[in-house]
């Protein structure tokens, strides 16, 4: 006769401890159940105290996630109570993205996480579309600037900026079928320009450009951030930074330009960018402050970085095959009147 216990599930309860099946083994090979009286007795991976068995189990619905403040959503695949499973459950402006791995609310990290296609990576917040001036070279809108009706040129978009802003302003230059060929000197801080994916191709014949640059960055009331874009050809430098500007230029590509950035006065940080096939990439002077980090410089024709009377920190960059056309041996020329380091 088969023993009765071999066909029955016998649970041994000791207070609110571990419950095991006979024959299930012990230690690492055991298959324990956690005994409980309330949800608060249960661990995070089995957060629900089952009313019938008085053992802990995984959740099956968010209505069962009430014991732990801030963990009010049920991740049914794991049975764990988590902070979020979808971004619409994250309501704080500084943490409105649900992380797909941790299931915790966090700030945005990439632009495509935001409905406006604009993450202010300085603050990790998604910018509201109503606060952004949109530019799209394929647009023909007259009353322009919105996501639905972008401005057709960069200059049109800049004209929409407030001259006396009370908070950071935003311009999103969208990728277009035809590269942009216009610039503007009207950029002032506190401003964030996102040009991720956009291409700029400037004429190689002499032309009238503002302040001897395609983009003039000045600072009156806050830092300036320029993020992304590919810039090629032209007859003058792409960026002029002056009037004691505090500028960050990042994630850009300079391709065969006369000069990428000219720091006249103020501060410039060039980060995570690339300069290739150009005459020079950076010039700085006049008691300015320059930071150049995590960039790639290759095949540039003249001295890649030239600084004079400038506090410079140049580190963690890659330099390959620069200065060969003009016979220069110094990739970085710190001049005679500088306080700088190259690492």
Q: For 74-89, what is each residue's pLDDT tens digit?
A: 999 999 999 999 999 9
Cis peptide before 190 (omega within 30 of 0): yes
Q: What is the pTM of this model?
A: 0.79
261-277: average pLDDT: 94
Residue 278 DSSP code = -
Q: What is the mean pLDDT of residues 126-133?
A: 95
Residue 81: its pLDDT value, please?
Answer: 94
Lowest mean pLDDT among 9-18, 29-38, 103-112, 271-280: 9-18
Residue 25 pLDDT > 80: no
- How far is the C-alpha of 263 from the C-alpha of 338, rounded, in Å? 14
- In angstroms, how far is CA 36 from the centroid of its own chain? 45
DSSP state of 158: H
Q: How much is the pLDDT for 146?
A: 95
pLDDT at position 102: 94
Percent of the chain topping pLDDT 70: 83
Contacts 24+ apart (CB under 8 A), 117-126: 117/172, 118/170, 118/172, 118/194, 120/168, 120/170, 120/192, 121/227, 122/192, 122/223, 122/225, 123/94, 124/94, 124/95, 125/93, 125/94, 125/96, 126/96, 126/97
Instruction: Name the residue with higher pLDDT: 19 or 204.
Output: 204
| pLDDT tens column, 157-213 | 999 988 777 888 999 999 999 999 988 877 877 899 999 999 999 988 655 554 568
Q: What is the pLDDT of residue 326?
A: 61
Report the pLDDT value the prediction gives residue 243, as an integer from 0 to 100: 81
Task: Answer yes or no: is pLDDT of 303 > 90.
Answer: no
């Amino acid at each position: 006769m088969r023993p009765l216990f071999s066909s029955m599930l016998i649970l041994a309860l000791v207070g609110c401890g571990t419950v095991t099946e006979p024959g299930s083994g012990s230690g690492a090979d055991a298959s324990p159940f956690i005994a409980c009286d309330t949800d608060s007795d249960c661990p995070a991976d089995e957060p629900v105290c089952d009313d019938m068995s008085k053992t802990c189990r995984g959740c099956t619905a968010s209505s069962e996630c009430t014991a732990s403040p801030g963990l009010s959503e049920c991740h049914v695949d794991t049975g764990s109570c988590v902070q979020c499973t979808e971004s619409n459950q994250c309501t704080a402006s500084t943490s409105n993205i649900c992380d797909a791995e941790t299931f915790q609310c966090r700030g945005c990290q990439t632009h495509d996480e935001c409905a406006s296609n604009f993450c202010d990576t300085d603050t990790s917040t998604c910018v509201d579309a109503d606060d952004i001036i949109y530019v799209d070279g394929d647009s023909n809108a007259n009353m322009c600037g919105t996501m639905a009706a972008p401005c057709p040129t960069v200059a049109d978009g800049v004209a929409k900026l407030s001259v006396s802003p009370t908070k950071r302003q935003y311009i999103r230059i969208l990728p277009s079928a035809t590269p942009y060929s216009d610039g503007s000197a009207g950029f002032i801080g506190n401003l964030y320009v996102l040009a991720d994916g956009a291409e700029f191709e400037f004429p190689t014949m002499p032309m009238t450009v503002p302040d001897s640059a395609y983009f003039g960055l000045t600072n009156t009331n806050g830092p300036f951030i320029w993020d992304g874009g590919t810039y090629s050809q032209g007859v003058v430098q792409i960026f002029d930074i002056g009037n004691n500007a505090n500028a960050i230029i990042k994630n850009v590509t300079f391709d065969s330009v006369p000069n990428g950035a000219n720091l006249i006065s103020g501060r410039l940080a060039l980060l995570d960018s690339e300069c290739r096939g150009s005459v020079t990439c950076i010039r700085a002077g006049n008691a300015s402050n320059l930071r150049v980090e995590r960039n790639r410089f290759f095949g540039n024709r003249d001295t890649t970085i030239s600084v004079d009377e400038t506090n410079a920190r140049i580190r963690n960059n890659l330099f390959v095959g620069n200065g060969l056309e003009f016979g220069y041996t110094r990739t970085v020329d710190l001049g005679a009147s500088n306080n700088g380091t190259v690492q």
